[in-house]
Structure 1
Amino acid sequence: MEQLLSILNNQKIEHEILKHSEKIHSAQEGADYFGIELGQTAPTLILKTDRGYYSLILSGDYGRVDFEALKGLLEFEEVKLAKPQEVEQVTGCKIGDVSLVNPDIPTIMDRGLLRFPYIYGGTGVPQTTLKINPQDVEKLNDVVGYLR
């Protein structure tokens, strides 16, 4: 989390790190736990493509990921979810804890997140959640494409 905090503080980004005693396993659990809309939860998925790894930041209310649409979006030959060990290798953390901020990984972002003043997502550390403005998430990542 030091790298995340360093980026946030160097860029003077308003944020809050929320600690919780239980692991949050789904967008719905996160929405219930924090008393927020499902759409404000922002899970970060890691995709394996024929052109390397990408992060995909979704709104919790997005629904199922359409891999065929993703192929068309960035003209991938192949795209699928990265395996747990690949996620750890690429991000340094486990599935479910992946940070919202990964400046070294090309990112696809769900525009649906931009309708909220704050979104809630991973920090890279279990049992902590980052509360941040979605425009700041967009600014801190290497966004190469958008869904919605």
Structure 2
Amino acid sequence: MLALEELEHYLLQNESNFEIIAHQTPIRSTRDAEQYFDIKKAAPTLILQTNLGLTALIASSQRGRLDFGYLKEAFGYTKLKMADKKAVVERTGYSPGAIPLIGHGLPCIFDTNLLALDYIYGGSGDELHTLKIVPTDVIRLNTVISFLE
């Protein structure tokens, strides 16, 4: 688990194109997020429980509701569901809703729709800060195992 300062140091060390945006209250809804960034560029990190263990899914908010049956088939999983909160905290140190785009330590599925954007906005690991970053840096700094087309 990376503290906010450690995340910033890691991103600087890896020559990432990013900004950390502070806000007064946690972002819990689209309406909350609109105050700080273009929600069409939001990229939440969801943690999935699969037959192979926990996996992060970084998906475009523009994708809408995810079809877990499709994801299960597309990636060859025999089991796929949202991960249990306790399992997420135990494995990553982060609570769901505060999972960072980078630094969660999980294998990752990345939504290729995000590559059309100049920047994406997602978790920083701290619910009072949002990470703005170039999508290719997210791919480069994670262990991406698959791409969601």
1:50–1:76 Cα contact (<8 Å) kept? yes
Superposition pairs for residues 1-148 of structure 1, below 5 Å?
Answer: 1=3, 2-27=5-30, 29-30=32-33, 32-36=34-38, 38-102=39-103, 104-148=105-149
- What code does the residue aligned with 2:78 have? E
Output the TM-score relative to the length of structure 2. Answer: 0.90
Q: Secondary structure at the match of 1:131?
A: strand
Equivalent pair of 1:27/1:60 in contact (CA under 8 Å):
no
Q: Percent identity?
A: 37
Maintained 8 Å contact 2:48/2:55: yes
Q: What is the SS of the residue equivalent to 1:70?
A: helix
Distance 1:58 1:133, change over 3 A: same
* CA distance in structure 2 between the aligned counterparts of 1:122 and 1:16, rounded to whole angstroms: 12
Runs of 4+ in 1 over 4 A off after TM superposition: none
RMSD: 1.5
SS in 2 for 1:112: helix
Provide the rounded CA distance (Å) in 1 between the counterparts of 2:118 and 2:75: 28
* One-letter amino acid of the counterpart of residue 79, structure 1: L
Structure 1 segments unaligned to the other structure (5+ residues): none
